[in-house]
Amino acid sequence: MDGVGDHARLLAAALAEAGHDSRLVTIDWRSHGWWELLKKVRSVHSMRPDLVVLHYSHLGWSRRGLPFGLLLVVALSRAVGPVLLWVHDPGGVRGFRLRQVLGGIAKNWGLRSAVRIAGQAIVTVDPAVLPWLDGASCSVQFCPSPTNMASVPRQPPTDFFTVTCFGIALTTDAPTMRILEPTCVGLARVIGPFRLQILGANEPLSSELRDRLSAAGVIVDLPGAMSADDLGHALARSHVYWHAKGRLTTRSGTLSAALACGLPVVGMLGDETATPLDRGRVVVIGDLDVEGLISAIADLSSDPDRQQVLSAKSAFTSDEFYSWSRSRDAVLAVLESNDRRSRAATRR
């Protein structure tokens, strides 16, 4: 769910290149009961691993899985040997309804407890913006999410200025839809006709909205389901990446794909907008600031030199912070630290 399976597979491949054998075990809470869970954990124990890297995203866990199932998996694994908890979706549960508030409390408590039990963790956003880490005395590393898509150098088209966004929900009540139409209509009014490429959307755009955008001069390209490699090539055929899915965050795999393709990035400021998403590397505007979005993208459309500067910064940011070698080295650092502690304990 949410690319975590791909992350585990690609991380295992990176570790294999460094001479480390990794075996993947999947726990699916929607189809696995408690007995199946215990058998899965037992199969991990039978491998006698030097380290269990436990990947977690709350988007892929049922209510049964978090917090109690996660805590059980961490505790059982920790009883056998070292555990590294990799938290892919560490942000809070948004919303003000009672269910959302209670869900946020349960999630925060579960993650704080799981990290304490594991003793070692990697998070995909800056730990300073995660309140649930307060009081969790353990070793925590920050490692942004690399992309699972093909990294294709930017190749902007020559016919129309092209803005690409990714993975946005196109239903009428989706939060993104509050800014999609006014931003696109306003941008077309400023720069003239342009192409809006929407990748990773599983539903069609309503015919009424498509007609309104077309009348304003927006050419909507909605290719539908594509392979990871094809998505990378389509993403590269852009002038600008608009992170319309939400606020700028280092845990976004689609954002890391845009950086890997060297696309200039425009997005909204949020709680998780921190290094390496600095204002000098990406274009940051205020939350839900439609006029700011229009102005930022319009300025880029008329300034190819600035596009090139931001493109180079995106590629550098991808290599420096989002590479699979960085993720691999984070795991190897944990292994080395565990070895040092083990040798020290043996000498005592």
- The answer on pLDDT for 91 being more than 90 is no
What pLDDT was estimated at residue 348? Answer: 66
Banded model confidence at residue 1, pLDDT cuts 50, 70, 90: very low
Architecture of domain 4-146+323-347: 3-Layer(aba) Sandwich (3.40)
Mean pLDDT over 82-110 rounds to 81
Task: Count the neighbouring beta carbons within 10 Å of the beta carbon of residue 47.
Answer: 12
What are the E-state strand segments in 127-182? 139-142, 162-166
- The answer on pLDDT for 252 being more than 80 is yes
pTM, whole model, 2 decimals? 0.89
Give me Rg for the CA atoms of the chain.
22
CB of 330 within 8 A of CB of 141?
yes
- pLDDT tens digits along 137-160: 678 999 998 998 888 999 999 999
Give the Å distances, CA to CA, from 204 to 59, 119, 128, 212, 235.
23, 45, 39, 15, 19
CB of 198 within 8 A of CB of 168?
yes
- The answer on pLDDT for 304 being more than 50 is yes
Whole-number Å distance between alpha carbons of 206 and 167: 16
Q: 135: alpha, beta or left, given left = phi > 0 and alpha = psi -120 to 50?
A: left
**Which tokens go with 251?**
């845990």
Proportion of the chain above pLDDT 90, given as a percent: 53
| Residue the block writes with tokens 């594991």 | 118
Q: Where are the domains of the chain?
A: 4-146+323-347, 162-321
Secondary structure class of 52 (helix, strand, coil): strand
Are domains 4-146+323-347 and 162-321 of this chain identical in fold?
yes
- pLDDT tens digits along 35-52: 777 888 888 888 889 999
Banded model confidence at residue 65, pLDDT cuts 50, 70, 90: low
**Which tokens go with 253?**
């795999």
Beta bridge partners of 164: 197, 241
Please indicate whether residue 179 or residue 60 has the higher confidence score (pLDDT). 179
* Range 162-321 has CATH code 1.20.960.40: no
- The answer on pLDDT for 95 being more than 70 is no
From 121, 23, 16, 135, select the one nearest 70 (Cα to Cα): 121
CB of 81 within 8 A of CB of 50?
yes
